Amino acid sequence: TGLVDEALQALDRAVIQGMRHRSWVENDSEFDNIREDPRFTEILDRMDEPV
């Protein structure tokens, strides 16, 4: 849905800007609605890359 897309885009922007709090994103219930989307995992994997 549109809200899922917006949430993933916002998370992606945060990672691009340097956010590296992977454990928080993996465990915070705020992300429950997007956690099953394959893009979520792709974004998380990019958190492990150097800024």
Q: What is the pLDDT of residue 19?
A: 95
DSSP 31: G
Q: What domain count does the chain have?
A: 1
pLDDT digits (tens, 9 = 90+) for 1-51: 799 999 999 999 999 999 999 999 999 999 999 999 999 999 999 999 887
pTM of the model: 0.88
| Rounded distance between C-alpha atoms, residue 51 and residue 30, angstroms | 24
**pLDDT for the residue 50:** 80
